Amino acid sequence: MNMVEEKAWVDFNALALVVERIDTVAELLDISRTRLLIAALHDEPDALVNDEGFRTQLRDAYYAERIDFQTVQSVLSQEEAMRLQLLRASIDRDPPEPQLKAALPSDDEFYDGDVSV
């Protein structure tokens, strides 16, 4: 984490039962509720990145162009994001059609003709 990293104010509602549980854990660990919530918010994305189901959703969203390269890069590593970018480019590309220099042999020539070795 950057020493000069900008902080953002977060305000949200949570179920009272969840807040009580967080408060209990924070008290047992002798840390503030805020510090515990920040740690949980920091750890959850790391856990998700290692979850194959989440990674599949992320890849699908990228291939469907619902998210961009920078988003993938911010969630995964640069290397993995570039790998997905290359794969998407290869998926989007039309494969080249083979060009024949001569006419195809007839069925008789193909099946009954002499096979050159």
Q: What is the DSSP string of 26-93?
A: HHHHT--HHHHHHHHHHHHHHHHHT-HHHHHHHHHHHHTTSS-HHHHHHHS-HHHHHHHHHHHHHHHS
The pTM assigned to this predicted structure is 0.58
Let me know: does 84 contact 93? Beta carbons within 8 Å. Answer: no
Render pLDDT for 4-47 as a digit per residue (tens, 0 to 9).
Answer: 778 888 888 889 999 999 999 999 999 999 999 999 988 888 88
The predicted structure's pLDDT at residue 63 = 92
Residue 19 in tokens: 């807040």
